[in-house]
Chains A and B, each alone.
Chain A
Amino acid sequence: MGRKLLTEHINVEGIETFEVYRKHGGYRSVEKAIKTMTPDEVVEEVKKSGLRGRGGAGFPTGMKWSFLAKPEGVPRYLVCNADESEPGTFKDRQLMSKLPHLLIEGMITSSYALGANTSYIYIRGELLYVLRILEKAIAEAYAAGFLGKNILGSGYDLDLHVHPGGGAYICGEETALLESLEGKRGNPRNKPPFPAVQGLYARPTVVNNVESIAAVPVIVNEGGDEYAKIGVGRSTGTKLFSACGHLNKPGIYEIELGLPVEEFIYSDEYCGGIWKGRNLKAVVAGGSSVPILPTELILKTAAGENRLMTYESLSDGGFVTGTMLGSGGFIAMDETTCIVRNTWNFSRFYHHESCGQCSPCREGTGWLEKVLHRLEHGHGHMEDIDLLVSVAKQIEGNTICPLGEAAAWPVAAAVRHFRDEFEWHVTHAKQAAQPGAVYPGAAVLA
């Protein structure tokens, strides 16, 4: 049994209320930070913890905080990125709807550390019901004196607001999110300047994922060194994985980083194996944007070692034989899954969600979708397979924001690991175009 740092009390009745949350030790980190620590000391603890951004990029949170510009007399902001829209990822929604006060506590402690007096939670518009839950919890925190003027008599003021988006995956990119929060289309900004220097309203701003902020109370309470003891190497602490697809027990699992992937998939404590007694064919381990891996490579590294649920182990081998931990959206596919169809589905998603600002992404995602559509529907040619790789390559690295890579990587990886399946779609076009068609080699791969 791994330790649960964030979700320990998630099933306690009434934990979404201030009273019950407080009874279970809630808001201790705010008291400890505001009464006994300087803001810089809080930043230092987060640095020591080794916490890495849980939204997908994995950048060290403490280091990100220390980049924040602090000119005198200029307001600065903390913005929580709750625009969770990466296919396969649904942890933040659960965390916020069941433990709203954990996020609010994290926002207060983090805002104090950063010297922000106004903070925002930018939540994806589809989650309006979660927004109501958060607003209710925020009202409770104001009433209890943890938000507003002169928090706990310290002289520190903080206002916290929730802001809904309008349905656009691109707003998960931090600068697009800030544009959207300013009431504009979610077009990512050129960087530099980075948000730490010019973010919301051109003021210094830190943007962090929900799960990263929810980890801050634990770090402050236990101390950064204690937090860093959990996990393996530079992958410290716990991480929420949202498991979905063809699993017996899909859901949210908080694990200590370092659990073997095989144990995560097959043990009864976690996903309980593949549904309907079938074999596993492939896994997308960190949300739809990370490279897909066939069974043998997700369970073992190319060197034959057990693949672990850590940033390093999952990316071992680069993109030739590895993938990324990403946002922790763990999508398992059984042996009957059509990889071409799945890749087309993801491409359609990225084409739909491209903001259209830069050509390689706007046009490239459209090309990928079209070529995959014709392969999947029995009109493809052999040259199309290399065309996919070529288009993916021309998107990668040539766009303002990482949506280009997010669209290109899954396609390139699917061709890399399942090329024979793409070829079969060309040579058996009519057969492949039938709904439910299964590539005959699938069972061999599994």
Chain B
Amino acid sequence: METTAVKPQFSEAAQAEIKRLLTHYPDDRRKSALLPVLHIAQAEFGGWVSPEVQDLVAETLGLKPIEVYEVSSFYTMFNLKPVGKHVLEICRTGPCMLRGSDELTAHLERITGAKVGGPASEDGLFTLKEVECLAACGFAPIVQVREKYYEQLDTPEAVDAMLTELRNQVHRPALPWEETGLPNALANN
């Protein structure tokens, strides 16, 4: 199929990071870097991996495109459709449910106007996604946004504080490989 879309390209910083990652694996095992590179691609290209982006990943690692598609569709962290600026991953499993994750999901749907599994909210800010156990069961209920965990969201005030913080993020936070020194996630937390 003919397409007029501009072919995506990794930034120089991302290319450098990919080069560093490839040193972690034997020379004839470049495919091992697939998951880490998909994470980089998703962060760099608006929070999701379009077919074009996946083709770029394949080209970068010297893989067939199908080798990337079959992996990206297996792991739930990779978004295969466009998402809003912030993807709110709401844990719905056992311990979170016991501490009110169902109510939290309903509350977030009401406030943001987005639906779980649906497109982003009309303002383009929020996509809601239910996920399985986030390994923070003692601090339930939990929402993960990028690399940050928002814990104990069992009061409207806690939820409001999280949404206000996200709404006030004018610029996208720097990606970890764009910074030197303290990793980005630590600075954010």
Q: Taking beta carbons and an 8 Å cutoff, which residues of A are in contact with B?
A: 84-90, 92-93, 120, 124-129, 132-133, 135-136, 159, 161, 163-169, 180-186, 201, 242-246, 250-252, 284, 288, 329, 331, 333, 337, 341-342, 345-346, 349, 352-353, 355, 435
Contact = CB atoms under 8 A, between A and B. Distances in A.
* Residues of A contacting B: mostly: mixed
A438 to B, nearest CB: 14
A98 to B, nearest CB: 12
A337 B94 CA distance: 11
A127 to B, nearest CB: 7
Given A132-B176, A245-B99, A166 B137 contact: no
Complex A-B, nearest 7 residue pairs according to Cβ-Cβ distance, in ascending order: A166-B75, A132-B183, A129-B185, A167-B77, A183-B31, A183-B34, A244-B137
A135 B136 CA distance: 21
A132 B138 contact: no
Contacts of B186: 129, 132-133, 136
A125 B35 contact: yes
A129 B148 contact: yes
Contacts of B98: 244-246, 331, 333, 337, 342
B138 A252 contact: yes
Contact of A85 (B74, B78, B135): B135
Nearest to A182: B32
A355 B136 CA distance: 23
Contact of B132 (A120, A244, A349): A349
Nearest to A352: B132
A120 B77 CA distance: 21
B164 interface: no
Given A87-B93, A166-B77, A251-B138, A182 B184 contact: no
Contacts of A135: 183
B138 A242 contact: yes
Interface in B92-118: 92-95, 97-99, 102
Interface residues of B, number: 50
Nearest to A165: B35
Given A127-B135, A201-B26, A245-B137, 13 more contacts: A85-B132, A90-B135, A132-B147, A132-B185, A166-B77, A180-B35, A181-B32, A185-B71, A242-B137, A246-B98, A337-B98, A345-B93, A346-B94
A200 to B, nearest CB: 9
Contacts of A352: 132
Interface of B: 24, 26, 29, 31-36, 38-39, 67, 70-71, 74-78, 89, 92-95, 97-99, 102, 131-140, 144, 146-149, 176, 182-186, 189
Nearest to A129: B185
Contacts of B89: 126
B71 A184 contact: yes
A129 B147 contact: yes
Nearest to A166: B75
Contacts of B133: 85-88, 169, 288, 349
A176 to B, nearest CB: 11
A312 B6 CA distance: 62
14 contacts: A87-B95, A90-B135, A90-B137, A159-B24, A163-B24, A166-B71, A167-B78, A168-B76, A182-B29, A185-B71, A201-B29, A345-B93, A353-B132, A355-B74
